[in-house]
Amino acid sequence: MKKEAGSPKKNKKPWPTKDAMEQVYAMNLWGGNSTKFYSGEGSHVTEVVKPYLDCVISFLSSFEKPLIVCDLGCGDFNIGKELVTFTNKYIAVDIVPALINYNRELFINKKLEFHCLDISKDDLPAADCVILRQVLQHLSNAEILSIVNKLTNYKYVILTEHIPNGEFIPNIDIISGQGTRLKKGSGVNLIEPPFSIKVKEEVNLVTTNLPDGKGMIATTIYSV
């Protein structure tokens, strides 16, 4: 039988996602230095961060009653810290315990709380809106599907993914870890199989083209 493109070798056991993410931060695989946690250029480069924040803040500010927001995969919180003010409550979640403890000490706000959870396995906090910013791109299809099945509990999903320029075959499977589908010429699209999420409305919020053909960062809001 011909092996499907992008599927992991059967004799290769995937490394648990928690261990993989802990290694990313311990070894600074996304950049930064050894003195602090760093979630990569996508969370720090002004050309990427500013357009994203402008659009998300505008969306959150459009509600007369501020939303409860759950940030799944909050990372070093360089993005989330700018959004807390515009919410009723901001629940920041990540899988790495040391990172969550670090964030709890560094970011203190009466509207803010941090939780250490495996979002593919654990129950997720109740909220109006969920943010998934460049998180699913690092996960296997099985883990993404587990998360997608929980997204119907939210009114809005703000999804950001690093995807190739132009047309591409979506959702080629990977082993969860540091890398993304971009190396396979693919990216995550929740509307397409095997996820096929049903939404009431899909709005492209902002797309930032990266230099040197490195793809683009696309943010979409789904009304679920």
pLDDT per residue, tens digit, the chain (224 aa), is: 333 344 444 444 445 788 888 887 788 777 777 668 888 888 888 999 999 999 999 999 999 999 999 999 999 999 999 999 999 999 999 999 999 999 999 999 999 999 999 999 999 999 999 999 999 999 999 999 999 999 999 999 999 999 999 999 999 999 988 789 999 999 999 999 999 999 999 999 999 998 777 899 999 999 99
User: What is the reported pLDDT for 7?
Assistant: 40
User: What is the reported pLDDT for 18?
Assistant: 84
User: What is the reported pLDDT for 192?
Assistant: 97
User: What is the reported pLDDT for 81?
Assistant: 97
Chain segment 65-105, per-residue pLDDT in tens = 999 999 999 999 999 999 999 999 999 999 999 999 999 99
**What span, in angstroms and rounded, lies between the C-alpha atoms of 171 and 164?**
12
Residue type, 151: L
Nearest to 111 by CA among 79, 74, 72, 69: 69
With residue 78 as reference, give the H or E element that holds it. Answer: none
For the chain, give the percent of residues with pLDDT over 90: 76
Residue 201 makes CB contacts below 8 A (sequence gap 6+) with: 222, 223
Edge to edge, the sheet with strand 201-209 lists 112-116, 89-94, 68-72, 129-133, 156-163, 216-223, 201-209
Both tokens assigned to 111: 């509207």
Helix/strand/coil (H, E, C) string of 177-190?
Answer: CCCCHHHHCCCCCC
User: What is the reported pLDDT for 213?
Assistant: 75
Instruction: Tell me what percent of the chain is helix, strand and coil, each rounded to the nearest 5.
Output: 30, 20, 50
Cis peptide before 14 (omega within 30 of 0): no
Angle, alpha carbons 33-104-206 (nearest 5°): 70
User: What is the reported pLDDT for 15?
Assistant: 54
**Number of other CB atoms surrounding residue 47 within 10 Å:** 12
User: What is the reported pLDDT for 32?
Assistant: 74
Instruction: Tell me the domains of the chain and their CATH numbers.
Output: 17-223 (3.40.50.150)
User: What is the reported pLDDT for 178?
Assistant: 77
End-to-end CA gap in the chain: 38
- Tell me if residue 39 falls in helix, strand or coil: coil
